[in-house]
Amino acid sequence: MGADGRIRRVAGALAGRRARLRWVHLVLGGALLMPYWLLSVTFLGVLRPDRPPEQKLLLLLASLLTSLPMAAVTALVPVVRGLEGSAARALCTVARPEDLATGPSRSWAARRRTALWFVLHVFLGGIVSGMTLGGLPFAVALLLELGGTSELGRYWEDRLPGWLPVGPVLGLLLLLLIVGVNAGCGAVLARSAPALLGPTPEERVAAAERRATVLAQRNRLARELHDSVGHALSAVGIQASAAARVLRTDPDFAAEALQAIEETARAAVAELDTVLGLLREDGPEGTGPAGPTLAGLDDLLRQLARTGVTVNADLAPGLAALPTEVSREAYRIVQEGLTNVLRHAGPAPAGLRVALTGERLEIELTNPLGPSRPSRPGGGRGLRGIGERATALRGGSTAGPGEDGTTWRLAVWLPVGGTA
């Protein structure tokens, strides 16, 4: 950066838009200090006519200090934090204004920090306001050499070169002092605002918990949409393709496929409406996504049979008595596993085992590897969603090629008493 650039940078810091906004902020602080200062002046009897000037000056300075504790006490009112945060966000030009407080104090830690900020604001604002109101007219008078030569001017006339205009020089120096003090006080406030008006550690933890809750809910809704709508679209696509192939040679089969498409689409629309209702927060707070449970597993298997996927199911008795949340998540896991069979292996036979072992629900799904089946463990959103569902209920899952290398195996275990 050249000399011109440095000069512009310094000039901007002293008199640019940011400096002007901070000056307004500091003057507001001085205005807020005025009632407390007048109360202190009255209490200390500064205006008594019998006091000598030197004593009045000392008492004026003392009244400034005694007014600060009163300001701190009033700043403990919770609403002060939001008001000061809004003013600092608009005028203090901090680096991250979004981190400043927007609401009232909700803990004593936040109130104490707000009180410290308020004291700092009104104290520095009182200094800048006093220098502006008292020093600025004096500096202008010196610059224009109004009112004759003062004692200060005569003092410096004897010590400066005769060609140097004493009044304008002193006026310019006083203006630079006022501008510099304003810039310095504004910078102090800007640096202090995030620490004093920002969130407390407790508020940061609460905000992180709220973000985690929102993210978990979004992920849950995404899984519901992926599993329900994704399965329906995969089934509809295969059924439509089959109907198109045999439309002329086997009209009865084509009609059956079209009827299956209609039923699948209706079921998908109903599930989509349920999930979107939760997204719009139409349902009661805290309720999980409504949806089919293991009691509807037979309908799912019949639907898959229409697409050519034959499922050899081994279902344990007593599945209807499972807790609703576990049964619902288990149904979605089976649905996504069979959808993966449909997508990657095509119309191939699959084996499904749902067993109850003590307090544990076990789901195992196997199918031959199709030509488009990935040879590595893992997959897309479907397998990741299965893992998230199992983890949410404190269970687990594995997926990958079987030991013989010709089959794909998905295994999931869920505690019967698991809750998300």
Encode pLDDT of 72-130 as tens digits. 999 999 999 999 999 999 998 887 888 888 889 888 989 999 999 999 999 999 999 99
Report which residue type is found at 36: Y
251 and 150 in a common domain: no
Domain presence at residue 420: no
Residue 280 above 60 pLDDT? yes
pLDDT tens sequence across 165-211: 666 777 888 889 999 999 999 999 999 999 999 888 888 888 788 88
Task: Give the residue carrying structure tokens 């640019």.
Answer: 16
Among 122-126, 136-140, 215-219, the range scoring the smallest mean pLDDT is 215-219
Q: What is the pLDDT of residue 290?
A: 57
Q: Quote the tokens at residue 28.
A: 């507001």
Distance CA 193, CA 94 (A): 7
The pLDDT of residue 375: 42
Q: What is the pLDDT of residue 284?
A: 46
For residues 90 and 190, what is the distance between their CA atoms, to the nearest angstrom?
11
Q: What is the pLDDT of residue 3?
A: 65
Strands 407-415 and 396-401: antiparallel
Among 168-172, 267-271, 274-278, 294-298, the range of highest mean pLDDT: 294-298
Report how many domains make up the chain: 2
The predicted-structure confidence for 341-381, as pLDDT tens digits, reads as follows 877 776 778 899 999 988 889 999 998 876 554 444 444 56
Average pLDDT, the chain: 80
Residue pair 411/397 in contact (Cβ under 8 Å)? The answer is yes
Claim to verify: residue 120 and residue 262 sit in the same structural domain = no
DSSP 48: -
Q: Is the pLDDT of residue 2 over 80?
A: no
Phi, then psi, of 198 in degrees rounded to 5? -80, 175
Domain-located, residue 129: yes
Among 199, 226, 249, residue at a domain's last position = 199
pLDDT classification of 48: cutoffs 50, 70, 90: confident
Strands 311-315 and 350-357: parallel
Residue 136 lies in a domain: yes
408 φ, ψ to 5°? -115, 135
Q: Which domain holds residue 260?
A: 207-415
Same domain, 191 and 304: no
Q: What is the pLDDT of residues 382-410, one digit of tens each?
A: 788 888 888 888 899 998 887 777 788 89
> Where among 154, 176, 199 does a domain terminate?
199
Angstrom CA distances, 14 to 49, 92, 127, 172, 219, stand at 41, 14, 17, 14, 50
Flag whether 351 is in a domain: yes
CATH code for position 243: 3.30.565.10
Does 153 share its domain with 268?
no
Which of 176, 199, 222 delimits the end of a domain?
199
- Using DSSP's 3-state secondary structure scheme, residue 420 falls into coil
Q: What angle do CA 362, 366, 367 make, to 5 degrees?
A: 160
